[in-house]
Amino acid sequence: MKCNFSAALSDFLFEYETPRLVLVKSKRVGIVCRLIQLIVLAYIIGWVFIYEKGYQISDTAISSVFTKMKGVGYTEVNGVERVWDVSDYVFPDQGDSSFVVMTNYILTPGQKQGKCPALPGKHNCQSDKDCEKGDYKRTGHGQMTGKCVQENKTCEIFSWCPIENDAVIPDPPLLMSAENYTLFIKNSITFPDFGVVRSNLVEGVDNNYIRHCLYSESDPFCPIFRLGDIVTMSGFTFSQIASEGGAIGILIDWTCDLDWQLKHCLPVYNFHGLYGNGNKEDDSAASMGYNFRNAKYYMEGEVEKRTLTKVFGIRIDVLVRGLARKFDIIPTLTAIGSGVGIFGVATVLGDLVLLYVLPRRNFYKNKKFKNASNDEEKSVLQRCKTETEPVKE
Q: Residue 327, annotated ligand binder?
A: no
Which 73-132 residues touch a copy of itself, going by CB under 8 A?
A: 74, 81-83, 85-88, 91-100, 113
SS3 state at 78:
coil
Question: In the complex, what is the shortest distance from the CB of residue 294 to a copy of itself, in angstroms, rounded to a whole number?
Answer: 5
Question: In the complex, what is the shortest distance from the CB of residue 167 to a copy of itself, in angstroms, rounded to a whole number?
Answer: 18
- State the DSSP H helix or E strand holding residue 129, giving kind and residue range, or none if neither: none
Question: In the complex, what is the shortest distance from the CB of residue 232 to a copy of itself, in angstroms, rounded to a whole number?
Answer: 18
Of 19, 12, 26, give the one whose Cα is nearest residue 370. Answer: 19
Per-residue burial over 112-125, b if 16 or more Cβ lie within 10 Å, else e, is: eeeebbbbeebbeb
Question: In the complex, what is the shortest distance from the CB of residue 126 to a copy of itself, in angstroms, rounded to a whole number?
Answer: 23
Please state, in angstroms and as integers, the Cα–Cα distance from residue 175 to each residue in 8, 21, 28, 171, 200, following that order: 91, 84, 78, 10, 30
Which 286-345 residues touch a copy of itself, going by CB under 8 A?
A: 286, 290, 292-300, 304-308, 311, 315, 317, 319, 321, 329-330, 333-345
Determine the size of the site formed for a copy of itself (CB under 8 A): 155
Asked if 358 and 28 touch (Cβ cutoff 8 Å), the reply is yes
126 vs 279, beta carbon nearer a copy of itself: 279
Q: Residue 112, annotated ligand binder?
A: no
Per-residue burial over 344-353, b if 16 or more Cβ lie within 10 Å, else e, is: eebeeebeeb
235 part of the interface to a copy of itself, by CB under 8 A? no
User: What DSSP assignment string belongs to 156-189?
Assistant: EEEEEESPP--SS--SS-TTGGGGG-EEEEEEEE
Q: What residues pair up with 297 in beta bridges, in sequence order?
A: 306
Q: Residue 238, annotated ligand binder?
A: no
6 vs 126, beta carbon nearer a copy of itself: 6
17 vs 127, beta carbon nearer a copy of itself: 17
388 part of the interface to a copy of itself, by CB under 8 A? yes
257 vs 351, beta carbon nearer a copy of itself: 351
Peptide bond preceding 223 in cis form (omega within 30 of 0) = no
Asked if 61 and 190 touch (Cβ cutoff 8 Å), the reply is yes
200 vs 243, beta carbon nearer a copy of itself: 200
CA distance 187 to 65: 5
126 vs 197, beta carbon nearer a copy of itself: 197
Q: What residues pair up with 148 in beta bridges, in sequence order?
A: 155
Q: Residue 255, annotated ligand binder?
A: no
Question: In the complex, what is the shortest distance from the CB of residue 286 to a copy of itself, in angstroms, rounded to a whole number?
Answer: 6
Which 187-216 residues touch a copy of itself, going by CB under 8 A?
A: 187-188, 190, 192, 196-199, 201-203
SS3 state at 380:
helix
Question: In the complex, what is the shortest distance from the CB of residue 297 to a copy of itself, in angstroms, rounded to a whole number?
Answer: 5
Which 339-358 residues touch a copy of itself, going by CB under 8 A?
A: 339-345, 347, 350-351, 354
Q: Residue 68, annotated ligand binder?
A: yes
Of 189, 183, 217, give the one whose Cα is nearest residue 202. Answer: 189
Q: Residue 182, annotated ligand binder?
A: yes
Question: Could you say which of 41, 122, 128, 158 contacts a copy of itself (CB under 8 A)?
Answer: 158
CA distance 32 to 353: 8
392 part of the interface to a copy of itself, by CB under 8 A? no
> Any residues with CB less than 8 A from the CB of 18 and at least 6 apart, and which?
none
Which 253-282 residues touch a copy of itself, going by CB under 8 A?
A: 253, 262, 272, 274-278
What is the distance in angstroms between the CA of the first residue and the CA of the last residue of the chain? Answer: 48
Question: Could you say which of 153, 251, 266, 361 contacts a copy of itself (CB under 8 A)?
Answer: 251
Q: List the binding residues for ATP.
A: 68-70, 182, 291-293, 310
Q: List the binding residues.
A: 68-70, 182, 291-293, 310
